[in-house]
Structure 1
Amino acid sequence: MSKKALVTFVGKQDPWNKAGKPGPLLTLLDGRKGFSHVFLVYTKTSHESMQEKAESVAREIKKRYSVRVTVLELELKSPADHEEVYKKTRGLFSAHKGVFDKYDLFINLTSGTPQMHIALFLLAASGEIKATMLYQPDPVHSPAIKEINPWQTDMPEILPRLPSGSPEPTVESTDLKEIIIELGIVGGSKSIKEALRKAARYANTDLPVLILGPSGTGKELFANLIHKLSKRRDGRFIPFNCAALTETIAESELFGYKKGAFTGAVTDRDGLFRQADGGTLFLDEVGELSPLVQAKLLRVLETGAFTPVGGNREERVDVRLIAATNRDLDEMVNEGRFREDLYYRLNVLQIQLPPLRDRREDIPELARHILTRFCKESGVEKEFTEEALRALMRYHWPGNVRQLRTVVWRLAVETDGKKIDLSDIVLPFQEVHNVTTLPIEPYNGFNLEETVKTLEKYYYEKALEISGGNMSKAARLLGVSPQAVSQRLKTNKTGRKRRR
């Protein structure tokens, strides 16, 4: 079950009303349990800021409930301006979409001004934010809470309007197809099509993008795709891996340094932000950055300015930032290992790339594509048999597309003749610790009987290995008779010697 989160403006009657009783927000939280996260939105104008009140509300919520609280600022010229409140509220939800999408979202229509309630209602009713609306018809005299699901009622449908001149991009567009082929992004699965659709749409903006997925799934390829489809395509695309670098090296690489900044700095050097000016900077494994570098990165995102190592003047750049990680940044934020404010700035737009085992239907096309490219570059002729491709589909690919590419290259070199057959394929069998490593659903070419046999073979061999070849101990581990182990040993021809 998904976790629940509440998004609410902070009102004048929060946390306590004029009578000293719990205000609308506390009343709602008393009546509706089960929220794991509350996002408090306070407004800031030229003559008034609700920040102090928001912090007071946050303290009271943490005291009364076991819930995480995040305070967000919404800067306005006038909280009574319907158009401004709507646009700014829409921008806030867009900026934090990656975070809000992790939850079953609820929005509070009781705290705040009528303009804020209208903005939230329109955004939810149009489907721009998928959320259930909560309100209290009479918060002063009754704690009763009602909810509105506008897409499930007889209310008129409100549709968001696409900006003029910005039609919905499609995976079938000619430009996108050509770049996909050029980059070698292959696959027709639903998850890849969705990632491509998002990449095409996100290319139309300069907002930061966070690409999530295990190592080897093609995060850099998708970052490059966004760049090549964007207005920055004539600028540079610079990838940088943040992992395995010391804080000092990462800082000087990203922001550059001045002559004399440290031993060996005999001349000024531009960092990657300066080199990517007018283009796109891709930061892979962004979760590995130190707190110091995280702080400087946040400043660049907020102001477009940074100071080189050893420098005393800020420099400004115009750079589109795309970040990627295989880590759970949300969990790192909870543990205090990644800045929450930086997380929100990076996670404006999000693309999730699946592991290869979750899109097995793409494996034959991928394997053929990799082999065709290799043969073209090497001047050889090779092709897979159907049996070989089915074997590749059965494997779990912990290294994802990167591992598949390595295996295909090896097969192309080591296999005699033009056909790569089932007998040519030797793949390590992953140790199965729990059911999450198994295929979650059948796929084209899936064979239940063969899969069960493979798992049985693995567990019998593993039990014999753990027991040192003692069949009686192996049988006890597996919950079967020693005769069953003996028979399986003969069937599998494991070649293990029985302990006397």
Structure 2
Amino acid sequence: MNTAPKKQVAVSFLGTVLDSGFGQGRWQKWRPNVAMNQRHDFHLDRMELFYAEKYRDLADHVKADIQQVSPHTVVNLVPMELENPWDFSEVYTKLHDWAAGYTFDTEEETYLTHITTGTHVAQICLFLLVESRQIPGVLLQTAPPKNQRRSMGKGDIGGYEIIDLDLARYDVLAERLAAVRDDAVRYLKSGISTQNAAFNRMIAEIEQVALHSPSPILLSGPTGAGKSMLARRIFELKKARHLIKGEFVDVNCATLRGDGAASALFGHKKGAFTGAAEKREGYLKTADGGVLFLDEIGELGLDEQAMLLKAIEEKHFYPVGSDKEVQSSFQLIAGTNRDLRREIRAGRFREDLFARINIWNYPLPALADRREDIEPNIEHQLALASQELGRATRFNKEALSAYLAFAHSNEARWRGNFRDLAASIMRLATLAPQGRIQVEQVAAEIERLKWLWAEEADSDDLLHKGSSEKADNYPDKIDWENLDLFDRLQLQNVIDECRKHQNMAQAGRALFHVSRNSRAKTNDSDRLRKYLQKFGLEWGDIVQ
């Protein structure tokens, strides 16, 4: 373990007035950024000094003076162009972007954010960034000696104070902090404007837990409810706040079987068993300093559960076949679609492990229980699909209305939760002509989803529609067996609807009853004729 003292790094603005001076008389003047490097009670290893380009000569001069009085201090001049240094939004945005792109190393370095120089707006913004841990450190206030000109010559370079304020006491700052927290909550929700009140309250609490607690988090809920995505977002939020340094290790425990489970999790020494030709670290060691997500933790065997409990509580464990312990400090996030209390009663899950991982337990609701969140998630999934396909895709107004009407109805069971929704939107985006999802695609997709969620008997009936047995009821000129299920289901349902009507015009009005209202000219027969022609069919072929 490294016992060397941490390096000290100061973050500061160039004082265009306080730091000024080029003649010898400048050494009789208190200059904040120079004076802090003349101190004997603490030293700085590095300075990150913000400056505007028009003050570059002064910045170079201050840098040279700092290195004269403190040769070991590295001074990095950081350009910070501000059109209006009194514009709160501009200053905060520029500093926020700098902090987001800066590589902080809190294990090796301590950060002192100097708030003596710069405008009052800049000082407030630095307050906010430190308080929200976007700059992970403390505030440093320096002050001149009481009799500046007489004292500077005698080696009195003023005082300093490490500031630890409760910024929530100040309304303006509290509002800014609330905005930072809101940003974090939106991040955990992937930027999706969810409407479900209970879900939003849960995510707001998870944001607080993620930033303030290193204890295990248990995410429960059905498959596809978003446990893995939320776990990764928690990790990314903690990493952005410099609370962890390690990586995110995602493990599906359902894939760990038999003797290999312990080796995969805890590692093994070379020669520990047949086939162990090389040493393996294991997932727990890989997650050292980071987050270990064990999805479907209820699938672990009882032996692995006991070893995991020891690793969580003591932060060390024995790899398979080794008599030497390995250390690993990680935060555990566990996921499960089982009721672990029931698993305990059945003897399949250890009660002591459940007690240890159940400190923060968040049940993620199924999509069917959050129907008000379907529409914003459609927008999110459509954006992802557009990015993957490399072209923008949108719903027509009537197509979106038809899809939402079904999605919100009890017919839509959403058994696979967000996985079903993501797959559905991807299919629609892929098949959308010219990037516009039409009512026709939505109608076919709805039939596909109904088939997906149908009970076994109903499912058999729908599948038989594509068999040679059932195809006798449909035109022989179509090679049904070589049609995609998507096209087969759509075409068969169109034919079924057509056979309910006396002519093409009536059938067209029924099939396009929503979209026809938004057209300046309605020609339902022509639209239906063009659809049938894609399959080489005429009206007479389907109504014989």
- 1:282 partner SS: strand
Distance of 1:414 and 1:331 partners within structure 2: 44
Q: How many residues end up aligned between the 2 structures?
A: 283
2:298/2:338 contact within 8 Å kept:
yes
For 2:203, give the aligned amino acid. Answer: L
Who is 1:198 aligned against?
205
- 2:433 partner SS: coil
Who is 2:372 aligned against?
361
Who is 2:437 aligned against?
419
Who is 1:40 aligned against?
none
The structure 2 residue matched to 1:428, chosen from 450, 475, 479, is 450
Report the alpha carbon displacement of residue 171 of structure 1 after superposing the two structures with TM.
Answer: 8.7
Who is 1:23 aligned against?
none
1:237/1:280 contact within 8 Å kept:
yes
* Superposed counterparts of 1:16-55, under 5 Å: none
* Superposed counterparts of 1:375-394, under 5 Å: 375-384=386-395, 385-394=400-409
For 2:334, give the aligned amino acid. Answer: A
* Superposed counterparts of 1:270-289, under 5 Å: 270-289=281-300
- 1:252 partner SS: helix
Instruction: For residues 19-48 of structure 1, give each alpha carbon's deviation from its aligned partner in whole angstroms, at most 9, with x where no partner exists.
Output: xxxxxxxxxxxxxxxxxxxxxxxxxxxxxx
* Superposed counterparts of 1:253-272, under 5 Å: 253-272=264-283
For 1:208, give the aligned amino acid. Answer: P
Who is 2:334 aligned against?
323
The structure 2 residue matched to 1:404, chosen from 405, 421, 427, is 421
* Superposed counterparts of 1:157-176, under 5 Å: 173-176=181-184
1:382/1:420 contact within 8 Å kept:
no
TM score, norm. by length of structure 1: 0.51
Who is 1:227 aligned against?
235
- 1:357 partner SS: helix
* Superposed counterparts of 1:234-253, under 5 Å: 234-253=245-264
Distance of 1:491 and 1:376 partners within structure 2: 36
The structure 1 residue matched to 2:351, chosen from 324, 340, 353, is 340
Report the alpha carbon displacement of residue 278 of structure 1 after superposing the two structures with TM.
Answer: 0.7
Distance of 1:345 and 1:358 partners within structure 2: 29
Q: CA RMSD in A?
A: 3.4
When residues 491 and 266 of structure 1 are mapped into structure 2, their CA distance, relative to the original with a 3 A threshold, is closer
Instruction: For residues 233-258 of structure 1, give each alpha carbon's deviation from its aligned partner in whole angstroms, at most 9, with x where no partner exists.
Output: 43211110000321322211111111
1:198/1:351 contact within 8 Å kept:
no
2:226/2:418 contact within 8 Å kept:
yes
Who is 1:293 aligned against?
304
| Greater alpha carbon shift after TM alignment, 210-219 vs 313-322 | 313-322
Distance of 2:167 and 2:420 partners within structure 1: 41
Distance of 1:340 and 1:324 partners within structure 2: 16
Structure 2 unaligned regions, length at least 5: 1-164, 169-173, 466-495, 501-544
- 1:187 partner SS: coil
Distance of 2:349 and 2:166 partners within structure 1: 38
When residues 194 and 336 of structure 1 are mapped into structure 2, their CA distance, relative to the original with a 3 A threshold, is same
Compare relative contact order (CA 8 Å, sep 6+) and give the higher one, 1 or 2: 1
1:188 aligns with 2:195: yes
Who is 1:212 aligned against?
220
For 2:200, give the aligned amino acid. Answer: K
* Superposed counterparts of 1:49-88, under 5 Å: none
| Greater alpha carbon shift after TM alignment, 266-275 vs 225-234 | 225-234
1:209/1:350 contact within 8 Å kept:
yes
For 1:197, give the aligned amino acid. Answer: A
Report the alpha carbon displacement of residue 164 of structure 1 after superposing the two structures with TM.
Answer: 6.8
Distance of 1:165 and 1:268 partners within structure 2: 50
- 1:371 partner SS: helix
Report the alpha carbon displacement of residue 194 of structure 1 after superposing the two structures with TM.
Answer: 2.1
Which stretches of structure 1, 4 residues or longer, exceed 6 Å deviation after superposition? 163-172, 490-494
Distance of 2:202 and 2:363 partners within structure 1: 7
Report the alpha carbon displacement of residue 193 of structure 1 after superposing the two structures with TM.
Answer: 0.5
Who is 2:55 aligned against?
none
Distance of 1:298 and 1:324 partners within structure 2: 16
For 1:354, give the aligned amino acid. Answer: P
The structure 2 residue matched to 1:352, chosen from 338, 343, 363, is 363
When residues 307 and 328 of structure 1 are mapped into structure 2, their CA distance, relative to the original with a 3 A threshold, is same
For 2:221, give the aligned amino acid. Answer: G
Structure 1 unaligned regions, length at least 5: 1-162, 434-457, 466-489, 495-500
When residues 222 and 237 of structure 1 are mapped into structure 2, their CA distance, relative to the original with a 3 A threshold, is same
Distance of 1:280 and 1:409 partners within structure 2: 30
1:357/1:400 contact within 8 Å kept:
yes
2:295/2:335 contact within 8 Å kept:
yes
| Greater alpha carbon shift after TM alignment, 281-290 vs 367-376 | 367-376
Distance of 2:218 and 2:286 partners within structure 1: 21
Instruction: For residues 96-133 of structure 1, give each alpha carbon's deviation from its aligned partner in whole angstroms, at most 9, with x where no partner exists.
Output: xxxxxxxxxxxxxxxxxxxxxxxxxxxxxxxxxxxxxx
1:397/1:403 contact within 8 Å kept:
yes
- 1:214 partner SS: coil
1:247/1:293 contact within 8 Å kept:
no
Distance of 1:408 and 1:491 partners within structure 2: 25
- 2:255 partner SS: coil
When residues 411 and 225 of structure 1 are mapped into structure 2, their CA distance, relative to the original with a 3 A threshold, is same
Determine which structure has the larger helix proportion and give its number. Answer: 2
For 2:424, give the aligned amino acid. Answer: V
Instruction: For residues 173-220 of structure 1, give each alpha carbon's deviation from its aligned partner in whole angstroms, at most 9, with x where no partner exists.
Output: 354156346x46552211320231121021111111110100001101
When residues 343 and 425 of structure 1 are mapped into structure 2, their CA distance, relative to the original with a 3 A threshold, is same
2:192/2:376 contact within 8 Å kept:
no
Distance of 1:233 and 1:391 partners within structure 2: 44
The structure 2 residue matched to 1:370, chosen from 378, 381, 385, is 381
TM score, norm. by length of structure 2: 0.47
For 1:387, give the aligned amino acid. Answer: A
2:294/2:335 contact within 8 Å kept:
yes
